[in-house]
């Protein structure tokens, strides 16, 4: 009698539980799905959601958001029981990443009219600090020599002690379009560099850049402010005013020609006109040294292998508001969910897993030490990982393997790219059964791919493995790289695969020996360039710094570094790079993509436009 009764009780008690689960799944579908997918997916979801939250401001080095992300990683390393290996009992390895220019003081006024910084005008980073109260001279577009005999300055023009008002762009028609451009909206003559230098060379004590009224360009309302990517060209202060603000200054001073009248005069011919008024300008620019920090936790090994190190890394930083590196321009927050909250979350999870397993190893089990690293300033050019390789916490020759994750969160059709299997002798065969047992399809490029944080370790002659999505998406380096699009399930499959690889590499008797074979394109499977177009070139050096966008195909060269391959070839500042090896170059992203396929010593034909003429040079690429 007891058995039927027990069965009846079990049946009756189960019915409400089933109904409760159905209600839960209906009313909280995401929670129910995460519960069904398991603890690892839930943990991964929490990490990547936190790191890609807009509150972290896109994790730009030097920002409060990056500090919060750093503290988050530190907290989880601490929970995992990782040691603080950096001097001073710290997880943080600091390094310099350059300077940030900020406006410490600004002023622009004419008579009793004072304008508002950030609304009417901005102090640009194209000039220096200084103040002036001086006559205002209209210098048209500030172009010394243009097309069809156009001369912006007659011989002997002296601007000593004057403030030069210079218009953006170049002579235009009544519709606001360039009179000179045949491709794109403007020619290289519209660039800022030569205009500002022309004013400074003639003795000007300041420059007021003005957006010309009626220009057919979306940037006419923009103000360039120091700290937003502008490059310094001159020592005198350079302010930029909107056309409306400039007109207020002129009207307040009783200047009779309107700004539009002045623009039309400059459209017709070069002009230098004393406006018979005086303005005041002041700019104080502060150069603040920027530092960033790699976050490093140590899992101490055992026995004779403890002095050998494996690195597991991913970059934590991203693009902030997209002021550099963005594929859609500045002004929007770039959350960087796939790039690279996805990889940083994997480092956190693997640190906890392996630390737990090391605590359970039998007493006589030898194991290598593992350094878990979340790098900073990867997006700025692999600065954090390069710094570590130059200044490692332990002798670099004792580092036996580096594993790097960059964008593992948007896997499509189960396809994960893993490159580097042939960088260690015997490593390819050792990895094969792990690749085959994974639910993922492992794509192995024929060449070492990408320019991510594994690259400095590879250059240091260390075996490396690089995990990244095999199929890139259009959200890369845009504001659309959001956490809702992350494929959490296959990211966990990736973590599981590399857990086996990491543990196996840490415990095996012999370390893998670096192999040069990968440099010659070893590997198997389909050939696929796994790094996106905007990635920096990994190995070659040209020696040019690009200037501002010219709004047309080609790249305007602002600086040609002395003694660099470009200068040796005959290329000069102000040239417009139009072709590479005979093929058109559209923009900087296209050039970066081309450079990824080159190696130092390659000799290529480069075509530039110089003063309207096409010139061809032979360039031998150097090594970065």
What CATH number labels 101-287?
3.50.30.30
Tell me: the pLDDT tens digits for 121-156? 999 988 999 999 999 999 999 999 999 899 999 999
DSSP, collapsed to helix, strand or coil, labels residue 114 as: strand
Give the fold, CATH level 3, of 38-83+300-411+448-459+467-509: Aminopeptidase (3.40.630)
Computed over every residue of the chain, the mean pLDDT equals 87
Q: Which residue, chain included where needed, has tokens 């799905």?
A: 33
Q: Whole-angstrom Cα distance, residue 319 to residue 197?
A: 31
**CA dist list (Å): 212 to 66, 164, 281, 379:** 39, 15, 20, 35
Determine phi and psi for 191, rounding to 5 degrees: -65, 155
pLDDT classification of 548: cutoffs 50, 70, 90: very low
Residue 23 has pLDDT above 70, yes or no: no
Q: Which two tokens stand for residue 354?
A: 């392996």
Please tell me the number of Cα atoms within 13 Å of 276 on its side-chain side: 5
Which H helix or E strand runs over 415?
strand 415-419
With beta carbons less than 8 A apart as the criterion, state whether 185 and 552 touch: yes
pLDDT classification of 25: cutoffs 50, 70, 90: low
Tell me: the pLDDT tens digits for 109-121? 998 899 999 999 9
Residue 228 has pLDDT above 60, yes or no: no
Tell me: the pLDDT tens digits for 54-104? 999 999 998 999 999 999 999 999 999 999 999 999 999 999 887 777 899
Tell me: the pLDDT tens digits for 156-184? 999 999 999 999 999 999 999 999 988 77
Residue 606 has pLDDT above 50, yes or no: yes
Q: Are strands 92-110 and 273-299 parallel, antiparallel or unpaired?
A: antiparallel
pLDDT above 90: percentage of residues in the chain? 64
Q: Are strands 238-241 and 206-210 parallel, antiparallel or unpaired?
A: parallel
Instruction: Say what the pLDDT of residue 537 is.
Output: 35
Q: What is the DSSP letter of 124?
A: -
Q: What is the DSSP letter of 102?
A: E
Segment of 239-253, 445-459, 565-579 carrying the highest mean pLDDT: 239-253
Superfamily of domain 540-623: PDZ domain (2.30.42.10)
Instruction: Say what the pLDDT of residue 539 is.
Output: 63
pLDDT classification of 533: cutoffs 50, 70, 90: very low
CA 503 to chain centre: 32
- Long-range contacts of the stretch 285-289 (C-beta < 8 A, 24+): 285/101, 285/102, 285/103, 285/104, 285/123, 285/125, 285/128, 285/129, 285/226, 286/101, 286/102, 286/103, 286/104, 287/99, 287/100, 287/101, 288/99, 288/100, 288/101, 288/102, 289/96, 289/98, 289/99
CB atoms within 10 A of CB 403: 26
Asked if residue 340 has a cis previous peptide bond (ω within 30° of 0), the answer is yes
DSSP, collapsed to helix, strand or coil, labels residue 395 as: coil
Asked whether the CA dihedral 109, 113, 117, 122 is positive or negative, the reply is negative
**CA dist list (Å): 449 to 255, 277, 379:** 61, 60, 16
Count, residues in the chain: 624
CA 127 to chain centre: 24
* Mean pLDDT, residues 412-433: 96
């Amino acid at each position: 009698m007891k058995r039927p009764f027990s069965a009846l009780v079990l049946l009756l008690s189960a019915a409400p539980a089933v109904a409760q689960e159905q209600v839960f799944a209906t009313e909280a579908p995401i929670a129910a799905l995460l519960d069904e997918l398991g603890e690892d997916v839930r943990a991964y979801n929490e990490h990547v959601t936190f790191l890609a939250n807009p509150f972290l401001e896109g994790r730009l080095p030097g920002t409060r958001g990056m500090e919060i992300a750093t503290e988050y990683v530190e907290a989880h390393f601490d929970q995992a029981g990782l040691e603080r290996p950096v001097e001073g009992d710290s997880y943080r390895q600091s390094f310099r990443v350059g300077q940030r220019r900020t406006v410490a003081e600004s002023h622009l006024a004419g008579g009793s009219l004072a304008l508002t910084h950030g609304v009417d005008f901005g102090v640009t980073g194209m000039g220096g600090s200084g103040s002036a109260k001086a006559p205002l001279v209209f210098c048209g577009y500030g172009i010394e020599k243009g097309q069809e005999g156009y001369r912006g300055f007659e011989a002997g023009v002296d601007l000593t002690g004057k403030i030069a008002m210079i218009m953006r762009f170049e002579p235009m028609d009544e519709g606001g379009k360039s009179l000179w451009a045949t491709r794109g909206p403007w020619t290289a003559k519209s660039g800022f560099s030569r205009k500002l230098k022309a004013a400074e060379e003639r003795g000007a004590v300041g420059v007021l850049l003005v957006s010309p009224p009626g220009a057919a360009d979306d940037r006419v309302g923009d103000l360039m402010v120091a700290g937003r990517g502008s490059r310094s060209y001159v020592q005198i202060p350079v302010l930029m005013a909107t056309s409306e603000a400039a007109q207020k200054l002129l009207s307040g001073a009783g200047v009779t020609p309107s700004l539009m009248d002045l623009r039309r005069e400059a459209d017709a011919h070069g002009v230098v006109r004393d406006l018979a008024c005086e303005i005041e300008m002041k700019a104080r620019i502060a150069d603040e040294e920027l530092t960033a920090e790699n976050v490093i936790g140590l899992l101490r090994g055992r026995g004779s292998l403890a002095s050998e190190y494996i690195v597991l890394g991913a970059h934590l930083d991203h693009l902030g508001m997209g002021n550099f590196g963005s594929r859609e321009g500045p002004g929007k927050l770039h959350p960087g969910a796939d790039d690279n909250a996805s990889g940083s979350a994997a480092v956190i999870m693997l640190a906890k897993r392996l630390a737990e397993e090391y605590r359970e190893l039998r007493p006589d089990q030898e194991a290598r030490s593992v350094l878990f690293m979340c790098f900073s300033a990867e997006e700025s050019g692999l600065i954090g990982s390069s710094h570590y390789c130059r200044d490692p916490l332990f002798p670099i020759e004792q580092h036996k393997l580096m594993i790097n994750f960059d964008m593992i969160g948007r896997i499509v059709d189960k396809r994960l790219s893993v490159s580097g299997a042939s960088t260690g002798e015997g490593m390819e065969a050792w990895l094969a059964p792990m690749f085959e047992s994974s639910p993922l399809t492992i794509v192995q490029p024929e060449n070492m791919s990408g320019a991510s944080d594994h690259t400095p370790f590879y250059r240091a002659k260390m075996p490396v493995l690089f995990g990244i999505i095999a199929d890139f998406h259009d959200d890369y380096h845009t504001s659309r790289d959001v956490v809702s699009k992350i494929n959490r399930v296959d990211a966990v499959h990736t973590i599981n695969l590399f857990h086996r690889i990491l543990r196996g590499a840490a415990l095996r008797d012999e370390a893998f020996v670096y192999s040069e074979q990968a440099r010659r394109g070893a590997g198997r499977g389909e050939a696929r360039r796994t790094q996106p177009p905007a990635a920096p070139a990994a190995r070659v050096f040209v020696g040019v710094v690009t200037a501002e966008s010219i709004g047309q195909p080609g790249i305007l060269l602002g600086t040609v570094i002395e003694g660099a391959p470009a200068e040796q070839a005959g290329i000069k500042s102000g040239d417009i790079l139009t072709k590479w090896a005979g093929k058109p170059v559209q923009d900087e992203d296209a050039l970066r993509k081309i450079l990824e396929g080159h190696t130092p010593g390659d000799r290529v034909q480069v075509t530039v436009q110089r003063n309207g003429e096409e010139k061809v040079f032979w360039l031998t690429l150097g090594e970065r």
